[in-house]
Structure 1
Amino acid sequence: MPRAIWTGSISFGLVNVPVKLFTATEDRSVGFHQFEPESGERIRYQRVTEQSGQEVAYGDIVKGYELEDGSHVLITPEELEAVEPGRSRTIDIEDFIDLDDVDPVYFDKTYHLAPADQAAAKPYALLREAMKDSNRVAIARFVMRAKQSLAAIRVASVDGDGDEAGAGDVLVLETMHFGDEVRSPAAIREMKVLDDGIELNDRERAAAKSLVESLTSDWEPAKYTDTYRERVLDLVARKADGERIVTEKAEEPTASVTDLMAVLEASVNEARQKRGDAPRATSGAGASVTDYASMSKDELYEEAQRRDIDGRSKMTKDELVAALSDSAMAEAS
């Protein structure tokens, strides 16, 4: 059962909506500790002074802000506490703006907003429907963990399984970067090549548009999995079982392609064949059903996962090519 990390209310005009805040995402990255390889002893970090090397207790540490000349201004926890925004249990809506005007680059972390109790359900639903009908997002400020945050409240559609509670439209809160925290791409030197009057002919535009359309599908979050994490966990399991791991030489990067039109046309053809689940046949007796040899190992692994090929995580690139070719030939026959 998820637990609320913040409770308070949304305030807009004279209306207050009691709400609870829940984290909407979780980090599933594989974590490791550090060890000294020869002894197998765990490596731990200590807080020590730069000159004496003596360890300092966490409670005795103060913060230092570095000035341009390299010197530091020391700030105590009490001094920082004196300028904190203060404890607040209100998400104060300052503006409603058009949802399409918000660039996703400003979004930071997502939270679910739930009505705090039964009495809050009606004003919650009223705010949700008003924002949905007007395609608006609310820009607000609130304080969490002694830090003031800018936030956007928007309506999100949540899929539910069967009669699962919570399915439908809900309010979500996105903490946001402040305007001076977002870097302008105009400062990137490499962007300046776009100012040289690049000409795109109609044929190139049509091919690029066709490629986009060929790769267009419905959003299905469940089909996008972290294949790297899966391989790392499989590696850990194999080593835990005592298996000897043989590493492969990294693949050489492929040469850059200069014939853009040829690449576009080939990409459109490949995308259409994948969408239709049709193998890409090559000519000649004994030819491979699909040109798997030209694919990267990651692409091969994802295709093997899609075809549910047993033992795929332990296969080398050549073994994946062979297994996929056999599977494609079996399908075609």
Structure 2
Amino acid sequence: MAPRAIWKGVLKVSEVTCPVALYTAASTAERISFHTLNRKTGHRVHRQFVDEVTGKPVEKEDQVKGYDRGAGDYIVLEPDEIADAIPESDKTLDVATFLPCDEIDDVFFDRPYYVAPSTPVASEAFKLIRDSMAAQKSAALARTVIFRRMRSILIRPHGEGLIATTLNFDYEVRSAEEAFSDIPKIKIEGEMLELAEHIIKTKAGEFDPKNFDDRYEAALAELVKAKIEGRKIRPPKRQEPSKVVNLLDALRQSAKTNDKPAAKSKAASKAKGQPQRKAG
């Protein structure tokens, strides 16, 4: 079954247009979810909006948005006023500029979406745009309305299609200088730096998302299964963090630990290349 598109429109590059569809690339739908229950009855409970002064429930038709000017002085915004203020979508991904794929700091990345042609007729124009961008190692910066918000979107070649990533606005990204301002300026050199670099080299590898399991989700799934089967589940043993007295000693120990698997691997590969003896 083909996935459901969350947006359909036109990708426009100068005078070249191509009907496209956006599909969700990352979702939390597969995570285990819970309902809140009444412990005494076992029935589900539902949230209810209550007036903070009178304590009485407020029906949905009496609920409106309000902007706090301070000291509890609110400006009331009616639903139709908010709707009129939201920009209308013309369903066009209008490319404003092209730039190198690594030009934008990934701290601005928000949510990814797969982009594919929405009709068979659009495949030729889609392939032209995708292949041209891949050849130039370029990304496209476009804007459109998604979920009633005007968004800036970075579009990049991705396999047989494109991937569109919505971007955070400048005011949403906090300054790194504020977060790093209290880090003291310390110069690391000599054996400490050499050992740290050695550890990084011995632990070098490639990213494979299959190697990273969601332990929290797995633990919840096991807990639910145990409850259904009437089993008691034992909590995992907590590993106490080792006490590090000296940073240099810790680096030396880490270097020794990381060298052992490499030595075993070399020995195993050497043995693998030798012919096996037949049983007598």
Contact 2:86 2:149 in 1 (8 A): yes
Q: Which amino acid aligns with 2:173?
A: V
Give the aligned partner of residue 26 of structure 2: 25
Read off the aligned partner of 1:142 and give its amino acid letter: T
Question: Is the 2:89–2:144 contact (alpha carbons within 8 Å) kept by the matching residues of 1?
Answer: no
Q: Are 2:169 and 1:181 aligned?
A: no
Distance apart, 1:105 and its partner CA:
1.1
Structure 2 letter corresponding to 1:233: A
Structure 1 residue 156: Cα displacement: 2.0
TM-score of the aligned structures, taking structure 1 as reference length: 0.72
| Aligned pairs (5 A) from 1:129-168 | 129-157=131-159
Alignment of 1:262 onto 2:262: no
Change in 2 beyond 3 A, CA 1:200/1:248: closer
Instruction: Tell me: higher relative CO, structure 1 or 2? Use CA pairs within 8 A at least 6 residues apart.
Output: 2
Alignment-derived partner of residue 100 in structure 2: 98
Residues 44-78 of structure 1, C-alpha deviations (whole Å, 9 max, x = no match): 21122222333333233210111244421110111
Alignment of 1:41-56 (within 5 A): 41-56=43-58
How many residues of Structure 1 are paired with residues of Structure 2 in the alignment? 263
Q: Deviations over 1:200-226 (max 9, x none)?
A: 113222222222222221222212111
Q: Give the alignment of 1:178-327 within 5 angstroms.
A: 178-188=169-179, 191-194=180-183, 196-245=184-233, 247=235, 254-255=242-243, 257-274=244-261
- Distance 1:200-1:234 versus aligned 2 partners, 3 A rule: same
Q: Which amino acid aligns with 1:237?
A: K
Cα shift readout 1:152-184 (whole Å, capped 9, x = no counterpart): 111223xxxxxxxxxxx3200101101111000
Cα drift, residue 269 of structure 1: 3.1
User: Matches of 1:39 and 1:142 in 2, distance apart?
Assistant: 48
Report the residue type matching 1:264 in the other structure: L
Residue 247 of structure 1, CA deviation = 4.7
Q: 1:201 to 1:172 in 2, by over 3 A?
A: same
Separation in 2 of the partners of 1:5 and 1:227? 30
Q: Which residue of 1 aligns with 2:73?
A: 71
C-alpha distance in 1, partners of 2:46/2:190? 61
Counterpart position of 2:163: 172
Residue of structure 2 equivalent to 1:312 = none
Question: Quick check: 1:15 aligned with 2:16?
Answer: yes
Q: Matched residues in 2 for 1:181 and 1:231: separation? A: 34
Gap regions ≥5 residues in structure 1: 158-168, 279-333
**Which amino acid letter does the alignment assign opposite residue 171 of structure 2?**
D
List aligned pairs for 1:109-124, cutoff 5 A.
109-124=111-126
SS in 2 for 1:101: coil
Return the TM-score normalized by structure 2.
Answer: 0.85
Corresponding letter in the other structure for 1:48? V
Aligned residues with identical type, % of pairs:
29
- Corresponding residue of 2:90: 88
- SS across alignment from 1:37: coil
Moved more, 114-123 or 204-213: 204-213
Structure 1 SS opposite 2:56:
coil
Q: CA RMSD in A?
A: 2.2
Question: 2-side partners of 1:133 and 1:249: how far apart?
Answer: 52
**Structure 1 residues 29 and 273, CA gap change in structure 2 (3 angstroms):** farther
The CA deviation string for residues 118-169 of structure 1, in whole angstroms up to 9 with x for no partner, is 2211221121122222222111111122211111111223xxxxxxxxxxx3
Question: Mean Cα displacement is larger for which, 178-187 or 246-255?
Answer: 246-255
